[in-house]
Amino acid sequence: MKRVATIILNRNLPKPADKLYEHLVKYDNELTDVYILEAGSDANLLSKYCTWHATEDKINKIGLRYSRGMNYGLLKLYNSNKWNDYDAFFLITNDTELMETSTVEPLLKILDSHPRLGILSPCSKLWGEKHLLSNQSTKYFWYIHNNAYFLRRSFLDDILNPQSPTYMDFVFDGNNFRGYLLESELIAKAYANNWAAAITAEVFAEENESYLINKSALIKTESYDENIRLYLEEGKHWLRKKYGFNSRWSMNEYVKTFYDKFFEFNPVYKEFKL
């Protein structure tokens, strides 16, 4: 039995999605099943390894983005009675690039050695956080911005919506379409439920932004600059409506409060605190 389910979110970029799928099969086939979700992709631009093709009119028009897309894929596993087959879920987008070595195996080993770790993120070679991991390769953080998350199933069991869930609300808030502070909300839910979130330098994953910059028309989205503008504009509106916060710094303080409380309740993990 494979312990991990990897979900790759794709939209009209079959070559990168295929490459990512083949990489995981090559290096981690014994540990992970790999699923590709096509979020309103054109029929002639599907990955050859496509698992699910979401074709509802609204999805065809605007896609799913990370929050709705990962909800959609996770819910497919949940409703097909495969959910409990897995110990963890690796959620990545088609622009994720991995090193030419195993990715899932070291992530799973870290999860196994940290029993209260609910969220684990590979580091990026471009992140400043890398310098904080020079002496200790895995540390617990209260802010992690990434499109590659390794999530423990039992953590998700504590926070998912079990009552008539949809791709709008299963794990992530689908009303936050572009994902502004999506990671902060997830991390707050983790620490509030006595789970931790960590970054590890034992695994690296990079985001190739050139796809969004150069192929926005192909993936049927706004230009890179327009995406950033809408990400901030729509995200700030979502943040104020849901939390009553007028800035991301208020959200950061909110998460940090839960982070600090976690170590008060779990002093055994203080060695991993920043």
The whole-angstrom separation of Cα 76 and Cα 80 is 6
Q: Considering its fold, how many domains does the chain have in total?
A: 1
How high is the pLDDT of residue 220? 86
CATH number at residue 24: 3.90.550.10
* Percent share of the chain, pLDDT over 90: 93
How high is the pLDDT of residue 188? 98
Residue 125 clears pLDDT 90, i.e. is over it: yes
User: Across residues 149-155, what is the average pLDDT?
Assistant: 98
User: Across residues 182-194, what is the average pLDDT?
Assistant: 98
Q: Tell me the longest C-alpha to C-alpha distance in the chain.
A: 54
Instruction: Give one DSSP letter per residue of the chain, joined into a string.
Output: ---EEEEEEESS-HHHHHHHHHHHHHHHTTTEEEEEEEES--GGG--TT--EEE--HHHHHH--HHHHHHHHHHHHHHHTT-GGG-SEEEEEETTEEE-SS-SHHHHHHHHHH-TTEEEEEEE-TT-THHHHTSSSSEEE-S----SEEEEEHHHHHHHS--SS--TTTSSS-TTSTT-TTHHHHHHHHHHHTT-EEEEEEEEEEEE-THHHHH-TTTTT---HHHHHHHHHHHHHHHHHHHH--SSHHHHHHHHHHHHHHHHHH-GGGGGG--
The range of the structural domain enclosing residue 182 comes to 4-272
How high is the pLDDT of residue 265? 97
Residue 215 clears pLDDT 90, i.e. is over it: no
Tens digits of residue pLDDT in 73-107: 999 999 999 999 999 999 999 999 999 999 999 99
* Confidence tier at 133 by pLDDT (50, 70, 90): very high
CA dihedral 248, 230, 182, 16 (to 10 degrees): -140
Find out whether 238 and 176 touch, Cβ atoms under 8 Å.
Answer: yes
